[in-house]
Chains A and B, each alone.
Chain A
Amino acid sequence: MNQITKEMRDLARELLASGEVKGLIGWTKGSRWYLTPPLFITRPEEAEQLYFDQFAVNNLTGLLLDYRYGDDKIALFVKGCDSRGIVRLLQDHQIKREKVLVIGVPCMGMSDKKAVTDPRQPVELPLLDKCLECRYPNPVIADRLIGGALVSGEPSEPKGLTASEAAKRGVGSKQADRFAQVKAIEAMSADEKYAFWQAQHEKCLRCYACRNICPACNCRECIFESDKKGWVNKSATPTDNAFFAVTRAMHVAGRCVECGECERVCPMDIPIMALNRKVIQDINELFGESDAGTDLDGKMPLGLFKNDDPEEFM
């Protein structure tokens, strides 16, 4: 068992035994070596099931939405990218600060299970692109820290017990490529762009995995759950799917915390982050550079009016 896992279990046991929290969300080892899915526990003896390794990729913060109307205090573990989801939920007034206990963990970078060739044979796998592009490997907010993790609200190098491992694995080594896909699509002609997105939107099943894992998708009732307004319906045609994709991207505009979970969970491999990043790039150009979900007290560019805001369309 690795040191982070040990600290995780010790702290979880303590928090649940003392009654400080009613439930705790972490990760556990899955059915195969390359799976470390989410786990929700309520009893101290269940702490033994917790586990952390380079496959604990799930951002757990969206699961807090299940408890937003309850009175129970819930603890959860966050990596750097996940922690921005906590800020998102707090800024959107979805959770109360005193009802969540945030435990920061250091991150060694998450491996890409799509690269698995033999499900029986553990091997070193390449990092997920989102980890290569990572700028916030350390939690931006935390009440407790394990594994030597350090809180940092600014882009930073990986810290804590796994710092050297993270550096060796290449966490953040492709930060400069963060907008590479956006630039590539922008370079296409209008017809090429249309063909590209049409092929992507044709695939969409409308399963809403992207929406349901997203900490920024926190509406009590999503417009796509109701066809009463007559704007949208369940039909999965390229046009309706494009309408969903663009609506979703615009609705998380300025609020997307770039955890990349939407794209990771898409069963059809639609490059959802390309759309999110395009919006982020535009916001950066229009309102100055900012990173959503990194500063709890900061104002979001689209949630703030300034007299010198650009008004190109007026």
Chain B
Amino acid sequence: MQRLKAFPKAKLTAVLEMMIQKATVWVPSMIAGVSRFAPYRPGTDIQMGTNTAISPKEALFPSTEKIYKFSAYGIDGDFEPVDPSVGPQILFGLRSCDMQGILCLDDVFLTRGYVDDFYGSKREATTLITLGCVTPGADCFCASMGVNPAEHDASDAQMYDLGDAYGIIARSVKGEALVKDLMAAGLLSDTDKSQGPTADFVLKVDSEGITEKLQQMFDHPLWDELSRKCLNCGTCAYLCPTCHCFDIAEKKRNQHCGVKIKCWDTCMFSEYALMAGGHNPRPSKKERVRQRFMHKLRYFPERYGKLQCTGCGRCIAKCPVNLEITDVIKLAGEAKSDG
């Protein structure tokens, strides 16, 4: 068996400096007091120890994106497309939960007969490097959602936390090219070390059978009870690595011309389901809260065969009222079905 290649943690910046020669490298960073993935530059405050507060989906699905420019003078209209593509980029140090989140986004934006170019072009240009997780955070529960924190086999390359070094193996052609570059630069050496076991999770929940259970719970009073404390803010959705809803709006320069934009939206907002004519099929908090959890735990698995919650715990960490998806799964599991 081939031995694991590794580079010392002290050489991290050297590795990143090498990588930015060929691509934009998104690394977990501290930006204005918040940890998030951001393009690496010399001097970046890198945060490899814990997962980021903001999910890395913004590298593939930015919160605001231009779609096209338009102008209209009387009956003369004109469109100018906006190129959504980006240059080669690397997402460096993704945790398994966020890798799983990208697989969910892939399902939505790339399958079922339509490829979203805004997402697809960025995804195509991206190399994903995952990092094994040995110390889950206080709000993490990925193992409960069927995600292996130690490694994820869908990435282009996997890094392992070896204490004072990072081990790395390639999993795809893109990953092999990257490891080859690191070898050529003399940054990798053989190691006998391996990643230690992942520490025990504080949060655990049994998600077995939750999809089937929720199929019988659309009219259950649980949604009324759960939604009472919800503020219907968008914190959970905007931090979520899998939430993918967007709205299309326009920014007008004047009454004739402007730009169409797509920007994050969420089923938590009252106007999200509002229809032309004023009808709102999700008029209260109950319907909105139900939609959020039904989508993640029932509709998405029904459509794509996987849960749309990866256990990253960001919504739990930041929910202003501690409406925790782990509690929802537990309470739904214990509830008497209404079917």
Contacts and interface: CB of A to CB of B under 8 A. Distances in A.
Interface of A: 30-32, 35, 37-40, 58, 62-63, 66, 116, 119-120, 199-200, 202-203, 205-209, 211-213, 225-227, 230, 233-237, 261, 264-265, 267-269
A37 B250 contact: no
Contacts of A30: 322, 324
Contact of A202 (B32, B238, B269): B32
A37 B322 contact: yes
B326 A31 contact: yes
A116 B320 contact: no
B318 A267 contact: yes
Given A66-B285, A211-B233, A236-B263, 5 more contacts: A39-B229, A40-B228, A120-B202, A203-B31, A269-B34
Interface in B194-253: 202-203, 225, 228-229, 231-235, 237-239, 247, 249-252
Given A62-B231, A205-B238, A31 B64 contact: no
Contacts of B337: none
Given A235-B64, A235-B249, A269-B34, A32 B234 contact: no
Contact of B322 (A31, A213, A236, A261): A31
B271 A32 contact: no
B264 A236 contact: yes
Contacts of B235: 205, 207, 209, 265, 267
In the complex, which of the residues B233, B237, B263 has the most CB atoms of chain A within 10 Å of its own CB atom?
Answer: B233
B63 interface: yes
Contact of B33 (A35, A226, A269): A269
B321 interface: yes
A209 B249 contact: no
Nearest to A214: B231
A237 B321 contact: no
Interface in B111-153: 138
Contacts of A236: 63-64, 263-264
A129 to B, nearest CB: 14
Interface residues of B, number: 43
- The listed residue with most A CB atoms (<10 A of its CB), out of B269, B318, B320, B326, is B320
B15 to A, nearest CB: 28
Contact of A237 (B64, B203, B234, B264): B64
A207 B202 contact: no
A120 B32 CA distance: 29
B328 to A, nearest CB: 12
A38 B321 contact: yes
28 contacts: A31-B322, A31-B326, A37-B229, A37-B323, A119-B138, A202-B32, A203-B32, A205-B239, A206-B234, A206-B264, A207-B233, A207-B238, A208-B269, A209-B320, A212-B232, A227-B249, A230-B252, A233-B249, A233-B261, A234-B64, A235-B64, A235-B251, A261-B320, A265-B233, A265-B320, A267-B238, A267-B239, A269-B34
Contacts of B291: none
B265 interface: yes
Contacts of B252: 230
B53 interface: yes
B271 A31 contact: no
B322 A235 contact: no
A30 B225 CA distance: 15
A199 B202 contact: no
Given A120-B202, A234-B265, A199 B322 contact: no
A66 B284 CA distance: 9
Contacts of A37: 229, 321-323
Contacts of B31: 203
B190 interface: no
Residue among B203, B232, B239, B321 facing the most chain A CB atoms (10 A cut-off): B321
B176 interface: no
Contacts of B225: 40
B327 interface: yes
A234 B318 CA distance: 21
B13 interface: no
Contacts of B327: 31
Interface string B304-324: 000000000000001011111
A40 B229 contact: yes
Given A119-B138, A199-B32, A226-B271, A267 B53 contact: yes
Contacts of A212: 231-233, 320
Contact of A233 (B34, B54, B251, B322): B251
Contacts of A234: 64, 247, 249, 263-265
Given A31-B327, A207-B234, A236-B64, A38 B229 contact: yes
Nearest to B231: A212
Contacts of A35: 322
Contacts of A269: 33-34
Interface in B244-289: 247, 249-252, 261, 263-265, 269-271, 285
Nearest to B247: A234
Contacts of B33: 269
A63 B229 contact: yes
